[in-house]
Amino acid sequence: DTGVSQDPRHKITKRGQNVTFRCDPISEHNRLYWYRQTLGQGPEFLTYFQNEAQLEKSRLLSDRFSAERPKGSFSTLEIQRTEQGDSAMYLCASSLPTSLSEQYFGPGTRLTVT
Amino acid sequence: AQKITQTQPGMFVQEKEAVTLDCTYDTSDQSYGLFWYKQPSSGEMIFLIYQGSYDEQNATEGRYSLNFQKARKSANLVISASQLGDSAMYFCAMRPISNFGNEKLTFGTGTRLTIIP
């Protein structure tokens, strides 16, 4: 068990470019969450998967954002036409499908849009 | 809807002293869980301790304990014998307890703890 991993750890992009982040959850975890954390704030929920099904999306997730988990294992988060306001830390977490399991977080991807 | 309030933006504590980080919450859920996470400068959220709303005893994990007062809707984190490595951001969070739904976490704004040698 190597924990939740995220790639890349840092991404600098110019405004208007598309970016894609990857999250690999702990292998037996079927629940996967994406959160966004801006400077000085706590993480905010973006979206949630149970296996390959995306079951909820926050209103924070505009049309420029899309997330997938095609085989119920790793997940990708894509941001199209990035804006400076997208600069943040994007955190992925996974958990077991029980009501008492905690969420394990990855190291995050820090996005800077210039 | 759930809300977490952390009123201490920053705290400075002498090494080896105990420290209490405040957290109050609001929710309409009958069953919920309360969590504390530590976030060092590296960015990773590290799970520290969990308290279920139905737990009658306060949770403890090593040097960490959670002072849960349900009637006051508070879930303060107590760190005993603080160490230099405890310097970090600390986040209080909560989520509903459900076998069928999205158990997304709602976080507070955090408290930056600095341990002074």
Give me the percent of chain B exceeding a pLDDT of 90.
82
Give me the percent of chain A exceeding a pLDDT of 90.
77
Residues of B in contact with A99 (CB under 8 A): 97-99, 103
Residues of A in contact with B43 (CB under 8 A): 89, 107-108, 110
pLDDT classification of B98: cutoffs 50, 70, 90: confident
pLDDT classification of B102: cutoffs 50, 70, 90: low
pLDDT classification of A99: cutoffs 50, 70, 90: low
Inform me whether the C-beta atom of residue A72 falls under 8 Å from chain B C-beta atoms. no
pLDDT classification of A98: cutoffs 50, 70, 90: confident
Does the pLDDT of residue A26 top 70, yes or no? yes
Contacts of the segment B47-50: beta carbons below 8 A, 24+ positions apart: B47/A102, B47/A103, B47/A104, B47/A105, B48/B77, B48/B90, B49/B77, B50/A102
What pLDDT digit, counting tens, does each position of A7-16 carry? 999 999 999 9
To probe the interface with A, which of B90, B97, B100, B102 has the most A CB atoms within 10 Å?
A: B102
Give me the percent of chain B exceeding a pLDDT of 70.
97
Burial (CB count within 10 angstroms: exposed 0-12, middle 13-18, buried 19+), residue A109: buried
